[in-house]
Amino acid sequence: MEGSVVVWLTCSLLAISCSVNAVYTYDPKSIRRRNLLANGLASTPPMGWNSWNHFNCMIDEKIIKETADALISTGLAKLGYKYVNIDDCWAEIYRDEKGTLVPKKSTFPSGIKALADYVHSKGLKLGIYGDAGYYTCSKKMPGSLGHEEHDAKTYASWGIDYLKYDNCNTDGSKPTIRYPVMTKALMSAGRPIFFSLCEWGDMHPALWGSKLGNSWRTTNDIADTWESMISRADENEVYADYARPGGWNDPDMLEIGNGGMTKDEYIIHFSIWAISKAPLLIGCDVRNITKETMEIISNKEVIAVNQDKLGVQAKKVRMEGNLEVWAGPLSDYRVALVLLNRGPDRTAITAYWDDIGIPPKSSVVARDLWEHKTLEPRFVGNLSATVDSHACKMYVLKPVS
């Protein structure tokens, strides 16, 4: 994404005004409902699959259909993974004579409507990809700048359920100028379409995204490495207060199953995305998924934390060097907790009730979500665990007195 570096630099000035703005105008209680995008979607973070992380531009309708089939046959769809999202490179470089986007004939010969019908027949939803510029990031297909209304109507007529909207090859104007045009177009297109803002966090979209979309990327693209994953988790955490049912911070799609990290690192990836109420969009080849990857992304108890109806994003509540405690409230006075060891040595980590919003004298039942065990002693005041290097523990805590 060549454009993004330039925008990032110019944004260092904006960052000051953005954050000052935040201090003076953000009042979570008063804006919590009023500023939501009124399409009724995203009461919990979206779950599904996206083609980009594994396939990049090498996609076709066969892969998309087989992925839909695989989401069903693996049982992932039943766990909530419903969106089948096509990323960049699905269209011809030229629009037709009416100005309509044309599905690429060599790779999507049946067209997107037929694909949507297929995906819907399985009880799943179809997502697509566009760009708030003249061309998408691949430069292999047109963007929607100047065609927003027409493209939104096209998507609605095809039966599209989700639009990821990228930020490449623009006219240089701010995302806050270009994105609302597509919001308006989608809202009058006659079909509820989840709107995923993908301007990579350049203009702090957490501060304005909830009025325009159902999720907003807070970071640049993820890569399948520990450094990339963990730095996106950090960048996304800063905006925790802005996530809420209807609109979510998005640290980018999952890399679990793509091979660049250890199993423990992928467990961290899934745990932190879940507790951060991030979209859970699988990014590997679901048609050829390993037992290990399935074990991670099908953990029902971790998914339940992500999909909890309270919809509050966790924060880092304590950091000591490489040791971190992440926690956030769940419904029914429960608390989700991650103990994260980013360092090179196996070390004990302690979470104190003081730090995680549990009254100090409360006795707590702890459920270990990766061991699938309710721990025997009750805990008072703190919970400690020894955690391997680049590994984590994840719990749900329930005060009982």
Active site residues: 166, 221
Q: Is 381 in the site for ligand NAG (CB under 6 A)?
A: yes
Least Å distance, CB 293 to ligand NAG, is 9
Measured CA distances, 51 to 2, 176, 309, 361 (Å): 21, 27, 28, 48
Burial class of residue 304 in the structure, from the number of CB atoms within 10 Å of its CB (0-12 exposed, 13-18 middle, 19+ buried) = middle
Binding span for ligand NAG by CB under 6 A among 27-35, 117-125, 354-362, 376-384: 376-384
> Which helix (H) or strand (E) element contains residue 341?
strand 335-341
Residue 84 or 284 having the CB closest to ligand NAG: 284
Q: Is 382 in the site for ligand NAG (CB under 6 A)?
A: yes
Least Å distance, CB 377 to ligand NAG, is 9
Least Å distance, CB 259 to ligand NAG, is 8
Least Å distance, CB 376 to ligand NAG, is 14
x/- track of binding to ligand NAG for residues 150-169 (CB under 6 A): --------------------
Q: Which residues, listed in sequence order, are joined to residue 166 by a DSSP beta bridge?
A: 131
Residue 31 or 380 having the CB closest to ligand NAG: 380
Measured CA distances, 277 to 14, 240, 250 (Å): 27, 9, 8
Least Å distance, CB 384 to ligand NAG, is 6
83: closest CA among 136, 39, 38, 120? Answer: 120
Least Å distance, CB 288 to ligand NAG, is 4
Binding span for ligand NAG by CB under 6 A among 76-84, 114-122, 238-246, 380-388: 380-388
Rule CB under 6 A: which of 282-321 touch ligand NAG?
Answer: 285, 288, 290
* Single residue of 350, 362, 363, 389 touching ligand NAG by CB under 6 A: 350
* 3-state SS assignment for residue 119: helix
Q: How many residues does the chain have?
A: 401
User: CB within 8 A of 204, min separation 6: which ones?
Assistant: 14, 15, 18, 19, 22, 239
User: CB within 8 A of 342, min separation 6: which ones?
Assistant: 230, 322, 323, 324, 390
How far is residue 317 CA from its own chain's centroid? 21
Q: How far apart are CA 321 and CA 298, in angstroms?
A: 31
Residue 40 or 357 having the CB closest to ligand NAG: 357
Residue 322 or 350 having the CB closest to ligand NAG: 350
Would you tell me how many other CB atoms lie within 10 Å of the CB of residue 350? 15
Binding span for ligand NAG by CB under 6 A among 204-212, 297-305, 365-373, 381-389: 381-389
- Residues in the interface with ligand NAG (CB under 6 A) total 8
Interacting residues toward ligand NAG by CB under 6 A = 285, 288, 290, 350, 380-382, 384
